[in-house]
């Protein structure tokens, strides 16, 4: 009990410190900044604004209601994280569900960790924290990865280290963004899985993607059945019939083993044709000048 009282007293002391406009803490070099960062402080909900760069866009209303009921009964166990914008002004970095649930039950104050960060650092913290969640759909994760690459300037290798995921895992998520938006929405709504999406991304033309997607949903096809449908699509594109036995699965072992490695390395829909004697060709499609330059740089290093 004494430990809890001490923690609460610390929060009240810091709250008083933050209420002093003459000694406002804005950066890590300011007086008393070391006492503030890493400590839990009680903040007025009215002083906190939602991050416009918040990567999470879907909030399940039923789950939010359950969280609100839990907070009403037990209190808020895990503080939110905010960054300081100015005197008595803060912006959410992580914990928007907790923030929204607290608003829903009429709480006036909320425990928070305060970070002193610029806009880019705030976005990166929000994106990385968001990716670690367990209830995200694959497209939401892919969009967060892409934003870390585009807006923070991380490479896939740097991103792999930052979020603790294999580079191949990140590549597989990013490739989902090549799907038609209708298919992405279907994945987010649970009509198809990430496995279905990974198979569909190997279909270059979006009209064909949508045609196969409709068959998946109408027939409730499994991932394995979808893979077979995509192989059949490629066979027809090569002027072969689905029953000819010349599908991608009939590639020589060396080509079959290297195909996925090439797809991951180039982050492209690579196609291989090869005969039993080992002779063949590799096709790497691109859709615009920027993608061609990206592929060229990946292959040549220049």
Q: Which helix (H) or strand (E) holds 93?
A: strand 89-94
Q: From CA 62, how far away is CA 59, in angstroms rounded?
A: 9
196 and 188 Cβ atoms separated by less than 8 Å: no
116 and 47 Cβ atoms separated by less than 8 Å: no
Is 96 labeled as catalytic in the residue annotation?
Answer: yes
Greatest pairwise CA separation for the chain in angstroms: 81
Residue 31 exposed, middle or buried by CB count within 10 Å (0-12, 13-18, 19+)? exposed
- Among candidate residues 96, 151, 204, 256, the one labeled active-site is 96
Question: How many Å separate Cα 299 from the centre of its chain?
Answer: 27
Tokens at residue 302, please? 């220049």
Backbone angles phi, psi at 43, to 5 degrees: -120, 150
Q: From CA 269, how far away is CA 178, in angstroms rounded?
A: 10
List the catalytic residues.
Answer: 96
């Amino acid at each position: 009990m004494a430990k809890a009282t001490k923690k609460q007293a610390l929060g009240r002391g810091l709250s008083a410190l933050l209420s002093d406009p003459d000694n406002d803490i804005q950066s890590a070099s300011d007086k008393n900044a070391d006492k503030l960062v890493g400590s839990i402080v009680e903040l007025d909900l009215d002083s906190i604004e939602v991050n416009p760069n918040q990567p999470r866009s879907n909030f399940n209303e039923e789950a939010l209601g359950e969280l609100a009921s839990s907070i009403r009964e037990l209190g808020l166990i895990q503080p939110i994280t905010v960054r300081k914008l100015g005197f008595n002004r803060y912006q959410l970095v992580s914990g928007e569900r907790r923030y929204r649930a607290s608003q829903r039950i009429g709480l006036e104050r909320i425990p928070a960790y305060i970070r002193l960060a610029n806009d880019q650092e705030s976005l990166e913290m929000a994106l990385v924290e968001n990716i670690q969640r367990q209830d995200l759909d694959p497209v939401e994760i892919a969009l967060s990865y892409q934003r870390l690459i585009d807006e923070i300037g991380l490479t896939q290798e740097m991103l792999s280290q930052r979020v603790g995921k294999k580079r191949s895992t990140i590549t597989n998520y990013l490739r989902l963004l090549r799907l038609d938006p209708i298919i992405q929405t279907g994945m987010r709504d649970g009509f198809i899985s990430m496995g279905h999406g990974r198979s569909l991304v190997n279909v270059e033309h979006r009209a064909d993607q949508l045609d196969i997607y409709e068959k998946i949903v109408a027939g409730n096809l499994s991932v394995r059945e979808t893979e077979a449908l995509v192989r059949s699509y490629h066979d027809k594109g090569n002027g072969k019939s689905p029953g000819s036995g010349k599908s991608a699965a009939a590639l020589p072992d060396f080509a079959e083993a290297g195909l996925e490695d090439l797809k991951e390395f180039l982050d492209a829909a690579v196609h291989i044709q090869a005969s039993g004697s080992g002779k063949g060709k590799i096709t790497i499609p691109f859709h615009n000048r920027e993608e061609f330059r990206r592929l060229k740089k990946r292959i040549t290093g220049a």
